[in-house]
Structure 1
Amino acid sequence: MLLGIWKRGIVLLAFLLSHALGSFVGINIGTDISNLPSASTIVSILQAQKIKHVRLFEADHQLLTALANTGIEVMVGVPNDQLLQIGESRSAAADWINKNIAAYLPGTNITYIAVGNEVLTSIPNAAVVLVPAMQFIHSALLAANLDFQIHVSSPHSVNVIPQSFPPSTATFNSTLNSIMYQYLQFLKNTGSSFMLNAQPYYSYTKANGIYPIEYALFRSLNPDNQILDPNTLFSYTNMFDTMVDAVYFAIQALNFSGIPIIVTQSGWPSSGGDNETDANVDNALAYNTNLIHHVLNNSGTPSQPKMPINTYIYELFNEDLRAGPLSEKNWGVFFPNGTAVYSLNFESVVDGGTISSGLSGVFCVAKLSANSQNLKQGLDWACGPGGANCSSIQPGQPCYESDDLSAVASYAYNDYYHRTQASGGTCNFDNTAVITTNDPSHGLCIFAGSSTTNSSASKGPASDSSPSVGVERLQAFSSGYLVLVLLLLFFCW
C-alpha cells in the first residue's frame, strides 16, 4: 500500500514539475504513407530533432517498442473505428489497455490516451459512446493501477464552436451541450486536459480574405488591422490564440474552470493544388517556426496568459495516401525518405519578434531552370529594393563568381529571404527561386542559414542566455521544488 502511494507521489511530482518548467512542442506521426520508414528510423529522426513528445493516432506496436527507453513522452490514440466497440464494452476497453498500453510499460513513456479524433464533428452518430469509451478506458487504467500515470481525453475540432470570434462570446454547438458537459465533467474528475485540433490554415482559407495572412502566420499586424475582442478588450495578434481562447470561454459558458487545453494538432501544409496558393513552404515554415516560438515562450493566450499551451505539430511526414486535395498530403516537416521539407528547431526560444533560428539549414537559391535575364532582374531587385546585403558578391569578395550568375543570384536571394521571411518575405523572385536544405556554402562563401553562421545559436536554447527567461525558469523550478518538499513531507507523515 505504501509503495503504491509512493509511486503515485513520484509520478505526480514528475507531472507537476514538467508543467512548472514550462510548455512543450511535440509532433504527430501519421502512417498513411506508401513507403513508411521503419520504426527505428522514425525514432532516430525524433532524437536527432530533439523531439520529446509524440502523438500516435493508433497503438502502432512497432513504434511503441522502438520508443522504449528513449524518454520520449507518447500520446496513444484509440482510432475512431474502434470507438463503438470500446464504448459499449468495459471488457473490450480492458483488453485494449492490456494489449496496447500495459504491454509496453514501463519502458515506453505513455502519458496520454486520446480516445477517437474529432468524433463529435466527423462521426456525430458515434457521439453517444464517446464519454462511455473514455470512462471505460479510464476504469481499465484504474484497475491496472495506471490511472496516476496516464490521462485520458479526446481531441475535438474547432468546429464544435460555431462562432469563435469574438472569443468571449464563444459557446459549443448547442446540440452538443449534453455530451460536452459529460466530457468536461470527466476531465474535471480525472485531472485531464481538453484536447483541441487548432488549424488556422483551414479557418484562414475558408474566410476568403476576411483576415490578413499575417494574422494566421503569427506575423506582425499592420496597426490598422489590430483585432480586438470588444467585450474583453483583449488584443489578438494571431488566429491560434483566438481559437484556444474561444474554447476557454466556451468551457466557462458551461460553468467549468481550471481545465487546461492541449493543442493536439496544429500546422500548415507546404504544398497544394492550383487553387491552394497559401499552401507553400514559405508559409509552412513561417507558421510552424512562429508557433514553436509562441508556445515555448510560455506566453499563454490573452485570456489565460499563465496557462501553457502544450502543442503537437501536424505532422512528422507527408502522407501521400491521405484522401482529399493535394494539401492534405503535404503537412509533413519531413519527406518519408527522411529528408527535410524545411528545417525546424523544436527546442530554442529566440528573443524578440523576428525569428531567424527556424531558418537554420534552409536556403533560398536560384532554380537551375531559370533563364539569365530573369535571374539578373531578380538579383538586381534583391540587392536594390529588397535590401539584401550583397557585399559578399562584389568583385574580390568570397562569393563573387563572374561566370556563374546563378550562384551570385542564389547568395542574394538567400540573404534577402533570411532577412525578411519572418515579416513576410518569400522565396520566389518571379518563380526563379526555390527552397532547399542543401547548404550552398563553399570555401569562405558562407550563406545565411549555414551551421557555420549559427554556431552560437546551436549551443543550447537561446532562452538560457536570457536573464529574464532564466529567472522565470528558476522561479518555476523553485515552485516545483516546493511542491516536491511538501508532498514528500505528506507521504512521510
Structure 2
Amino acid sequence: MPHPTQVVALLKAQQIRHVRLYNADQSMLVALAKTGIEVVVTVPNEELLAIGQSNSTAANWVSHNVVAHYPSTNITAICVGSEVVTTLPNVAKLLVSALKYIHSALVASNLDSHIKVSSPFPSSIILDSFPPSQAFFNRSLNPVLVPLLDFLQSTESYFMLNVYPYYDYMQSNGVIPLDYALFKPLPPNKEAVDSNTLLHYSNVFDAVVDAAYFAMSFLNFTNIPVVVTESGWPSRGDPSSEPDATVDNANTYNSNLIKHVLNKTGTPKHPGIAVSTFIYELYNEDLKPGPVSEKNWGLFDAYGKPVYVLHLTGSGAVLANDTTNQTFCIVKDGADGKMVQAALDWACGPGKVDCSILLQGQDCYEPDNVMAHANFAFDAYYVKMGKSPEACDFNGVATVSTSDPSN
C-alpha cells in the first residue's frame, strides 16, 4: 500500500470526501486528521469474538480507535465486522452484543449522536430478491437480524448492505442482461416490473436495495435507511471465466453508479432519497488470492495511477482523472519576468520538480525562454501536489488554466 499520507493526498486531489477503512489503522487515522474527510472505521472480524463477550474490551477499542482521534479525524460511523453472518456464522450470535457494547462506549463518551454503529451484510442474505416486494431475509438469520434491526431502529442508525450487480449478473446464467446490471438506459419494455407494486426497475442495484427495504418491512421495520457499504465492478478478469470483467464495463458501472447516486433519483420504492454508496475500492489489490478479478476492483493501481478515466461530464468534479476537465498551471499573462524566474528557480530547487528536461539538448529546452520553462515547471509541481489550487500560485505569477501549455 502507498504510505497513509500518499493515500490522503490522493483522496484530496480527487476531492473524495468520504472513505471507509476496513480496520482502524492508527497511521491512516492520523493522516486523515484535519482533512474534513468523513471516515468510517471497522472493527475487524477477528476482534469481534472478544468485543461481543466483553463490554470493557469494546470500551477499550472505542477509546483507542475513536475517542483518541475524534473530532480531529471526522469519524462518522463504525462498521462492526463485515459480512459476519456468512463469513463467521459461529460469531454471528455475538454480533448484536458487539454492536451494543460499542454503542454504549460511544454513549459514555457523548459521541453516540455523531457516530453511527452498524454492520455490513452481503445482499445474498435476501432471498427471492425479484420481484423486490416479495423479498425476505434468510429466515435462519432472524435470531440475529431481528434484534439487530431493533438496535438500528432505536439508535437511528442505518442498514449496511454490500451490493454487487456484477455477481448477480455472473450467477444469473443469462437471465440478467448485462445492460441491466451496468445501469445502461433501457427501453421501457425491457425494464423489469414488480407485478405486485407495478414499480419499474431499470437496473439491478435499485432492485437489490428495494428488496432490502421490503425484507425489512416484512419483519415490521419500515424506517431504517439502507446505506450501500460496497459496490463496484472489476476491470480485469480471466478471459474464459470472467469475460465481463473489463475496463470498459468497470468504467460504465462506476460512472453510472456515481451519476445515479448524485442525481438523487433514489429507488422506485423510495424516489428522491439518494442511497449513500461506497465504491469498492480505491486501490487494486495485486496480492489478493483467488480469481484474476479479485485483484482488480480498484479505481487506481498501487501507484495511484487511474485504472480508467470515469465518464463523469456534467456531474461535478468527482474524480480529477476525468480528462474532460483537464487543468494546467501556467504563467499568468503580464507576469513580471524577474518574479517568474525566481518562481522557476524555486520549483526546480526546493519544489523538487525534475527540471533536467529543460537543459540544453533535452526535449523541453526549446523554446528557450523563461516563460516556456516556467510553464513546464509550474505545471509539473501542480500535478505533483495533486492539482490542488493553492499549488498553482507561485507568489501570484501563476494561474490555473484549461489550455495545455505543452502545445
Into which bin does the TM-score normalised by the smaller protein fall? 0.7 to 0.9
Show the 5 A alignment for 1:454-493. Answer: none
- 1:371-415, Cα deviation, whole Å (9 max, x unpaired): xxxxxxxxxxxxxxxxxxxxxxxxxxxxxxxxxxxxxxxxxxxxx
The sequence identity of aligned pairs, in percent, is 53
- Higher relative contact order, structure no. (Cα contacts within 8 Å, ≥ 6 residues apart): 1
Q: 1:358 to 1:110 in 2, by over 3 A?
A: closer
Match for residue 258 of structure 2?
292
Match for residue 145 of structure 2?
180
Q: Distance in 2 between matches of 1:70 and 1:346?
A: 24
- 1:189 positional shift: 0.6
Match for residue 257 of structure 1?
222
Match for residue 322 of structure 2?
360
Q: Distance in 2 between matches of 1:202 and 1:358?
A: 29
Equivalent of residue 75 in structure 2, options 106, 110, 114: 110
Does the alignment pair 1:74 with 2:39?
A: yes
Match for residue 341 of structure 2?
none
Match for residue 490 of structure 1?
none
Q: TM-score, normalised by structure 1?
A: 0.64
Amino acid at match of 1:203: D
CA contact (8 A) 2:306 2:321 kept: no
Amino acid at match of 2:246: N
Q: Secondary structure at the match of 2:86?
A: helix
Match for residue 329 of structure 1?
295
Amino acid at match of 1:349: S
Q: Secondary structure at the match of 1:124?
A: coil
Match for residue 135 of structure 1?
100
Greater share of helix residues, 1 or 2? 1
Q: Distance in 2 between matches of 1:343 and 1:79?
A: 32
Amino acid at match of 1:195: M
Q: Distance in 1 between matches of 2:86 and 2:120?
A: 11
Q: Distance in 1 between matches of 2:176 and 2:402?
A: 39
Q: Distance in 1 between matches of 2:106 and 2:312?
A: 31
Q: Secondary structure at the match of 1:337?
A: coil
CA contact (8 A) 1:158 1:198 kept: yes
Q: Secondary structure at the match of 1:104?
A: coil
Match for residue 209 of structure 1?
174
- 1:308-336, Cα deviation, whole Å (9 max, x unpaired): 20000000000112221010110000001
Count of residues in Structure 1 that have an aligned counterpart in Structure 2: 327
Amino acid at match of 1:40: T
Q: Unaligned 5+ residue runs, structure 2? A: 325-400
Q: Distance in 2 between matches of 1:73 and 1:186?
A: 23
Match for residue 53 of structure 2?
88
CA contact (8 A) 1:69 1:108 kept: yes
Show the 5 A alignment for 1:213-292. Answer: 213-274=178-239, 275-292=241-258
Q: Unaligned 5+ residue runs, structure 1? A: 1-35, 351-356, 363-450, 455-493
Match for residue 340 of structure 1?
306
- 1:358 positional shift: 9.9
Amino acid at match of 1:271: R
- 1:345 positional shift: 7.3
Q: Distance in 2 between matches of 1:61 and 1:345?
A: 34
Amino acid at match of 1:69: K
- 1:349 positional shift: 2.2
Match for residue 312 of structure 1?
278
Q: 1:105 to 1:358 in 2, by over 3 A?
A: closer
Q: Which runs of structure 1 show a deviation greater than 6 angstroms over 4 or more consecutive aligned residues? A: none
Q: TM-score, normalised by structure 2?
A: 0.77
CA contact (8 A) 1:49 1:345 kept: no
- 1:49 positional shift: 0.7
Amino acid at match of 1:302: P
Does the alignment pair 1:39 with 2:4?
A: yes
CA contact (8 A) 2:13 2:320 kept: no
- 1:350-372, Cα deviation, whole Å (9 max, x unpaired): 7xxxxxx999328xxxxxxxxxx
- 1:179 positional shift: 1.2
Q: Secondary structure at the match of 1:84?
A: helix
